[in-house]
Amino acid sequence: MHSRFRSDRRLTTRMGITLFLLGLLYVGFVAALIVLLKSWVLVVVVAAGLLGAQYWFSDRIALYAMRGRVVEREEFPELHGVVDRLCALADMPKPVVAVSDMDMPNAFATGRNPDHAVVCVTTGLLRRLEPAELEGVLAHELSHVAHKDVAVITVASFLGVIAGLIVRFAFYSQVFGGARRDQNTAVIFAAVMGVSVAVYALSFLLIRALSRYRELAADRAAALLTGRPSVLASALTKVSGDIARIPTKDLRTAQAFNAFYFTPALGREPGVARLFSTHPSLEQRLDQLGRISAELGEAAAPGGV
């Protein structure tokens, strides 16, 4: 399937390199666990089962975690209308359309391929954006589906999820069952935790680097498809400003899924956190859209509708 979204060779190259490096890391991780736990059957079966579940059911998992529900045309005709127009313009299959009942203005796409994808927007986003701005955001999300980087991020995040789960399991096992273990078992658990922490840290950095570039690629593809980068710039400015005013305690749950969102749920966190952000800065995104606007000779200035 080849959509009319502008292809991005640099994105494709980065996705390939990231998956290759994570694959090597994953093989090493599994091998280390087999050596430490002395049970290759358990490690392989559990790892393969979790990877398969995350790949095949990623859309359902993401919708459930972010309180999204599939909606029909009768319930949200305008939303379906925008998605229909963009899919026709991009010459791509229409994804499942969902809505999340959250005040935080945001959107995300998930799914293993363009034929099994979901695009979800929050009610907070629908209330705040003008129709043209909503079209820009949805074009951004559909470009993730067309570029297949949604599937790559889903698979790439698997290793970090597994490593994080093992760290938690090992930690609580030591805390609540340490008195009943001998010294050799304690050493094995410490080694497993150490390997898992290292794997989590490396996968964290690789995924963040890819995620920041894919957001710029999605902005670029959406702006070129619609021919209105200033509208997307306006939506970015509005959404980022509104998220910053939402109390941090209300954003904590959403922050675990920042890699999938249109804009990160960062609230008022200090600038240091942005070094490890899943998204480029707002300034970077607006600068790029401004350059595209100039190249296209768009009449409206970036930030205007």
**CA-to-CA dists, residue 46 to 154, 166, 171, angstroms:** 18, 12, 19
- Side chain identity at residue 125, one-letter code: L
* 98 vs 109: CA distance, rounded Å: 10
CB 235 within 8 A of CB 136: yes
Q: Which two tokens stand for residue 232?
A: 């997307």
* Catalytic site includes residue 75: no
Q: Are the C-beta atoms of residues 193 and 128 closer than 8 Å to each other?
A: no
Unique residue bearing structure tokens 């705040």 = 128
Residue 140 annotated as lining a ligand binding site: yes
> For residues 95 and 119, what is the distance between their CA atoms, to the nearest angstrom?
6
**Cβ distance 33 to 192 under 8 Å?**
yes
Helices of type H across the chain: 9-37, 40-56, 58-65, 77-90, 123-128, 131-147, 149-177, 183-226, 229-244, 248-255, 282-296
Q: Binding residue per annotation — 116?
A: no
Question: Which among 141, 269, 283, 295 is annotated as catalytic?
Answer: 141
Q: Is 215 among the annotated ligand-binding positions?
A: yes
DSSP secondary structure code for residue 251 in this structure: H
> Residue 255: what residue type?
Q
Binding residues for Zn(2+): 140, 144, 215
The catalytic residues are: 141
